[in-house]
Amino acid sequence: MKKTLFVTGIALCIFHSVFAGGILTNTNQSIHFLRNPARGASIEIDAVYTNPAGLAFLPKDGFFFAINNQSAFQTRTITSTFTPFAGYGGNATKEYEGTASAPIIPSIQAAYKTGDWVFSGSIAVTGGGGKATFNKGLPSFESTVAIVPAVLNQYNSALGSYSVNSYMEGSSFIYGAQLGGTYSISEHFSAYAGFRLNIVNNSYVGYLRDIKIGVSGNLTPADNVVALNPAFGAFAPLVSAKELDCEQSGWGVTPIIGADFKWNKLNIGAKYELNTHLNVENKTAVNTTGVADYEEGINTPHDIPSLLTIGAQYNIIDPLAVSVGYHHFFDSNAKMANDKQKYINGGINEFLGGIEYRINRLFLVSCGGQITRTGATDNYQADLSYSLNSYSLGFGGAVNISENVRINLAYFFTNYEDWTKTSADYGKINALTGGKVPATSGTDIFGRTNKAFGIGVDFRF
């Protein structure tokens, strides 16, 4: 029965990125992306990440450098309906909101072009990137407590209400350092090969405390209540205090290849990042949850899925360019905790488009959009790990301070479609307690918002 305690909703879930991209991948590595996300055929400095083979078509030999900062803010809202929740506050429907913010998210791209060769590198937050805090905990946490007075009421009608102090905070960061080389095969073709070193740091801190059950209208410590009747003893693990303080770390290497074709005003770029095999290892300060997966030294799968990007850009007239792109994240082939990848049908698809207009030699403006379609199924969706369909819009501009210095500014936001999941055995309480607690249905509606601001500077020498 202890497997149901507290972290039923975590189950080593991953906190989603505060960026655009897949479940574990950030695709917005520069301000160029924020103001026009269709960058798969870029031949500017941001191509270090978006289209590294396209660096062969940088305008001249020399050193190119970009420094960026993004500020991202996100909310995650779970609206849950579960009849036993009425025992705390009188309403069977409750809203749990988590906030994630990352006001400083720096990234650096650099490239050196000499003849037919370009050597490039970048440092960025390539996955995760924020801290999410649920001040009221999560519905899966509270459900394990809410069900107890509802069941005990069968034995004693004086029992019914409850109260609990619940909290959850988690963060996930994947830091990436990329190196590679681009070679110009001919006037029209180029190729790239490189790798990215990924360093993962996750942390989970949370608790269930001050659990009380109403006895004849008075809230009484739950431990005292379950001692009232020998039949209540089986429920003691569900209402005992729990605490978790666990950090996870690991690293892995991503091989990357790319190709680019340029013909007059048309440029086409492609990139493929291979699956990154890695595990994260626990460093646990406190674990009174009864879940062995959080014990000190335990390793958990944390693969970064392979990624295919294809993009095209066409200059309709000299000041006006349009671009399109496609991304596919092979999430269903990446090993996840508890084999959750089995519940993702094929991965995530993104469709991108954008437009850029150069007003004059000093100013340009651009905008674009991205449509994301997830392959996640009901079995994948959970409190701290859910993937939603969405569309994103970005816009901004650039100012040429001088021939060699340009400032980029942008705003990017994402609208997500709510996902409704109804469970016959809410929180899997019946299954995880071996039938000792009856199955009770419940519904979760998962929602999310996201916005990001960015400023960056491009240099060339």
Burial 386-423 (b: 16+ CB within 10 A, else e): bbbebebebbbbbebeeeeebebbbebbbebeebebeb
Q: What is the per-residue pLDDT for 2?
A: 44
Q: What is the per-residue pLDDT for 10?
A: 47
Burial of 201 (0-12, 13-18, 19+ CB in 10 A): middle
Q: Which amino acid is at 135?
A: N
Q: What is the per-residue pLDDT for 17?
A: 54
Helix H or strand E segment including 193: strand 189-215
Q: Tell me how far apart the alpha carbons of residues 274 and 340 are, in angstroms, rounded to a whole number.
A: 20
**Whats the size of the chain, residue-wise?**
461
Q: Which amino acid is at 50?
A: T
Let me know: does 48 contact 120? Beta carbons within 8 Å: yes
Q: What is the per-residue pLDDT for 8?
A: 45
> HSE-up of 208 (CA within 13 Å, CB side)?
31
Q: Is the torsion defined by CA of 185, 190, 193, 197 positive or negative? A: positive
CB-based contacts of 178: which residues, under 8 Å, 6+ apart?
48, 49, 120, 121, 122, 123, 124, 194, 195, 196, 197, 256
CB-based contacts of 340: which residues, under 8 Å, 6+ apart?
13, 380, 385
Q: Which domains does the chain have, with CATH numbers?
A: 2-460 (2.40.160.60)
pTM of the model: 0.91
The DSSP code sequence of 241-305 is -EEEEEEEEEEEEEEEEEEEEEETTEEEEEEEEPPB--EEEEEEEEE-SS-GGGSTT-EEE-PBP
Let me know: does 253 contact 262? Beta carbons within 8 Å: no
Per-residue pLDDT tens listing for the chain (461 residues): 444 444 444 444 445 555 566 677 788 899 999 999 999 999 999 999 999 999 999 999 999 999 999 999 989 999 999 999 999 999 999 999 988 888 889 999 999 999 999 999 999 999 876 778 899 888 988 998 898 888 887 777 777 789 999 999 888 889 999 999 999 999 999 999 999 999 999 999 999 999 999 888 889 998 888 887 777 777 788 888 899 999 999 999 999 999 999 999 999 999 999 999 999 999 999 998 877 788 999 999 999 999 999 999 999 998 999 999 999 999 999 998 888 899 999 899 999 999 999 999 999 999 999 999 999 999 999 887 889 999 999 999 999 999 999 999 999 999 999 999 999 999 888 877 777 778 889 999 999 999 999 999 999 99
Let me know: does 405 contact 425? Beta carbons within 8 Å: no
Q: What Cα–Cα distance (Å) separates residue 248 from each residue in 50, 85, 198, 298?
A: 29, 32, 14, 9
Q: What is the per-residue pLDDT for 16?
A: 53
Q: Is the torsion defined by CA of 344, 11, 388, 377 positive or negative? A: positive
Q: What Cα–Cα distance (Å) separates residue 66 from each residue in 116, 127, 365, 418?
A: 22, 20, 18, 36
- Residue 225 has φ and ψ, to the nearest 5°, of -70, -45
Residue that is written with structure tokens 């997500």 in the block: 416
